[in-house]
Structure formats: structure tokens, C-alpha cells
């Protein structure tokens, strides 16, 4: 396989947004609507659903492996730190980049996220314009600059 950025793989980028706030989901989708790359956004509204989707359990069996995970910390059932910990302990999932997208500026949330191997921590911007700028920065960095593993190879990521 030739290593390439997601932008050069000529396929839609698959993003798993793990977020329970409907307003924030709409804001994220609107911000991504201006993205230059084709993309699919899948949404999990709680921590348990997110893990089922990532593990392709039950009705999620045919879901593609995401290229990136955007993870809120304040989630029902399993909070974001619990989800992050399970992702990073799972050999089939740990190589997927996880960007924390939280309203929390608490130092302990930031530190704990990085201790659990989050790839970045972003405080949710308050406006659509600033949110769009964050999404453009994520897109530019993760999808056009960074060489990512092929999702099919993630199962062997140790």
C-alpha cells in the first residue's frame, strides 16, 4: 500500500462524532458542510453507542472504521474519558486519532485526556464562525498534511 494523506486517497473521510448535545451536533455538521473534502459524519449520542459503533456490533456491523473521532467528554452512559480509555486499549481501535472536543477548560480534564492518549484537546468554540475555523484547521492538519494508516490495517495496529 502506498502511504498517502486522506485527501490523496480519493474517498470520503469517515468521521465519528461522539456528542450528546443536539445543538453541538448541528453546529459540527454545519461547520463540516464547508469542508473541501468529501466526508461522512456518523454520530453516537452516548458512550456505549460509540463503542458499539466502533466495534461494529449488531446494527453497526457495516459501518466503516472512522478515520477520525471527535469526542465530547460529558456523555451519558459512559463518559468521554471512559470511551477514550477503551478505544486506546483496543488494538483494533487505538490508532484512530481522537480529538477531544469539549466545553471543559478544566486542567484535570485536559491532563486526563492526554494521559489516556488523546491526540488533541479542543475547547468547543461558541460561535458557528469560530467552530468552522476549528473544523477547517482539523481538516487541514489531519486530512491534508498527516499520513494516516489505512482503516483496513488498523486491526493490526499494536
| 154 is a domain residue | no
In this prediction, residue 111 carries a pLDDT of 97
Number of domains composing the chain: 1
pTM above 0.85, yes or no: yes
Give per-residue pLDDT as tens, 117-134.
999 999 998 888 898 899
Give per-residue pLDDT as tens, 18-76.
999 998 899 888 888 877 778 899 999 999 999 999 999 999 999 999 999 999 999 99
| 17 is a domain residue | yes
| 2 is a domain residue | no
Per-residue b or e along 2-26, where b marks 16 or more CB atoms closer than 10 Å to that residue's CB: eeeebbebeeebbbbbbbbeeebbe
- Its domain, for residue 138, covers 9-145
DSSP helix/strand/coil, 71? strand
Looking from the CA of 1 toward its CB, the CA atoms found within 13 Å total 12
Nearest to 16 by CA among 6, 7, 25, 8: 25
| 153 is a domain residue | no
| 33 is a domain residue | yes
| 1 is a domain residue | no
| 52 is a domain residue | yes
**CATH classification of the domain holding 131:** 3.40.50.2300
Amino acid at each position: 500500500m502506498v502511504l498517502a494523506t486522506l485527501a490523496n486517497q480519493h474517498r470520503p473521510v469517515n468521521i465519528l462524532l461522539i456528542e450528546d448535545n443536539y445543538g453541538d451536533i448541528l453546529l459540527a455538521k454545519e461547520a463540516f458542510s464547508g469542508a473541501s473534502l468529501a466526508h461522512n459524519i456518523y454520530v453516537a449520542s452516548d458512550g456505549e453507542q460509540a463503542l458499539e459503533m466502533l466495534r461494529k456490533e449488531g446494527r453497526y456491523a457495516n459501518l466503516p472504521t472512522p478515520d477520525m473521532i471527535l469526542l465530547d467528554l460529558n456523555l451519558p452512559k459512559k463518559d468521554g474519558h471512559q470511551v477514550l480509555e477503551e478505544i486506546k486499549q483496543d488494538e483494533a481501535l487505538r490508532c484512530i486519532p481522537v480529538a477531544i472536543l469539549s466545553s471543559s477548560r478544566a486542567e484535570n480534564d485536559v491532563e486526563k485526556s492526554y494521559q489516556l492518549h488523546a491526540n488533541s484537546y479542543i475547547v468547543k468554540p461558541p460561535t458557528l464562525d469560530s467552530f468552522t475555523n476549528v473544523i477547517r484547521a482539523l481538516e487541514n492538519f489531519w486530512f491534508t498534511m498527516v499520513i494516516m494508516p489505512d482503516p483496513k490495517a488498523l486491526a493490526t495496529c499494536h
